[in-house]
Amino acid sequence: MKAVDPRTWMWTRALEVLAEAERLQKQFFHLGQSPSRRPAWEPPVDIYESNGALHIVVALPGVSADSLKVRTDDKVLVISGDRPVPWEGRAGSIHRMEIPYGHFERRIEGLPSGLESTRTELCNGCLFLAFRKPKYP
């Protein structure tokens, strides 16, 4: 085990925390593979099941409801839209840019057939989707 220099331990720990934050940012907000040939980033999603329903939560802070598109193609759910740059047209220099802007697209594949949408709501920067799963005899 390495001895910790009391004069630099705080600085070392701060650099470790920043490196971990950068790693997480790259993990959650990365460029996707959009079939439309447009560059796209993928927002993070949570998917869970309860009581015969499938719930999907998509993190989309700063995205307006009118710029969102949600569609299903067979067993694929596609969520796409645009998050505009908030400082567009203003003069200045960028010192750090970690929040993704521009076109986004998230494809969720392998969903069961026959899902019926029961909720689509944009609230507090998250898109909430709920689907009723079909009951098979």
Classified by CATH at the fold level, domain 9-85+100-132 comes out as Immunoglobulin-like (2.60.40)
Domain range annotation of the chain: 9-85+100-132
- How far is CA 80 from each of CA 24, 36, 39, 83, 101, rounded to the nearest angstrom? 22, 11, 12, 10, 13
- SS3 string of 55-109? EEEEECCCCCHHHCEEEEECCEEEEEEEECCCCCCCCCCCCCCCCCCEEEEEEEC
What pLDDT, in 10s, does the model give residues 21-68? 676 655 555 555 555 556 678 999 999 999 889 999 999 999 999 999
Q: Give the pLDDT confidence of 66-82 residue by residue, as tens digits.
A: 999 999 887 899 999 99
Q: What is the pLDDT of residues 104-117, one digit of tens each?
A: 999 999 888 888 99
